[in-house]
Amino acid sequence: MDWMKIVAALALIMFIVYLFPRARHMMENSPKGSSADWMGFVVPILVIVLFVMLLVQLV
Amino acid sequence: MDQNYSTIGRSSRTKQAIEINKVLRNTYLLLAMTLLFSGLTASISMMMNMPPMTYLISVIGGMVIAMFVLPRFAHSTAGIGIVFLITGLLGFGLGPILSMYASVPNGSNIIMLSLGGTGVIFMGLSAYVLATRKDFSFLGGFLMVGFLLVLVAAVANIFLAIPAMSLMISAVVIMLMSGFILHDTSRIIHGGETNYILATIGLYMTIFNIFISLLQILGIMGGDD
| Residue among A5, A26, A52 whose CB faces B140 most closely | A26
Task: Decide if A51 contacts B120 (C-beta within 8 A).
Answer: yes
Taking a C-beta distance cutoff of 8 angstroms, is the pair B203, B184 a contact? yes
Q: Mutation test of the interface with chain A: which of B54, B145, B211, B224, choosing the one with the most A Cβ atoms within 10 A?
A: B145
- In order of A17, A49, B155, B167, the CA distances from B122 in angstroms are 28, 14, 27, 21
C-alpha closest to that of B86 among B102, B100, B74: B74
ipTM higher than threshold 0.90: yes
**Residue B191 CA neighbour count, 13 Å, CB half:** 7
Q: How confident is the model at residue B3 (pLDDT cuts 50, 70, 90)?
A: low
Residues in chain B: 225
- Looking at residue B138, what DSSP letter applies? G
Closest residue in B to A30 (Cα–Cα): B138
Confidence of residue B4 (pLDDT cuts 50, 70, 90): low
Helical ranges in chain B per DSSP H: 2-47, 53-64, 70-73, 78-103, 107-132, 140-160, 163-189, 196-221
Q: Do A16 and B110 touch (CB under 8 A)?
A: no
Q: Among B92, B90, B111, B116, which Cα is nearest to B208's?
A: B90
Total structural domains within chain A: 1
Domain containing residue A32: 2-58
Share of chain A above pLDDT 90, in %: 66
Total residue length of chain A: 59
Do B107 and B224 contact (CB within 8 A), yes or no?
yes
Does the beta-carbon distance from A16 to B152 stay under 8 Å? yes
**pLDDT score recorded for residue B148:** 96
Task: Tell me whether residues B179 and A1 touch, CB distance under 8 A.
Answer: no
Q: Is B123 an 8 Å CB contact of chain A?
A: no
In the prediction, which pLDDT does B225 show? Answer: 44
Q: pLDDT at residue B105 above 90?
A: no
Mean pLDDT of all residues in chain A?
A: 91
DSSP 3-state of B35: helix
Percent of chain B with pLDDT over 90: 82
Tell me the per-residue pLDDT of B136-146, one tens digit each, with 9 for 90 and over.
999 999 999 99
Instruction: Indicate yes or no: CB of A27 within 8 angstroms of CB of B141.
Output: yes
User: Binning pLDDT at 50, 70 and 90, where does residue B68 land?
Assistant: very high
Find chain A residues with C-beta within 8 A of B139's C-beta: 30, 33, 41
Query: Which pLDDT score is estimated for B224?
Result: 47
Distance (Å) from the C-alpha of residue A50 to the closest C-alpha of chain B? 11
pLDDT band at A2 (very low <50, low <70, confident <90, very high): confident
Mean pLDDT across chain B: 92
- Nearest-CB residue to A33 (from B138, B158, B171): B138
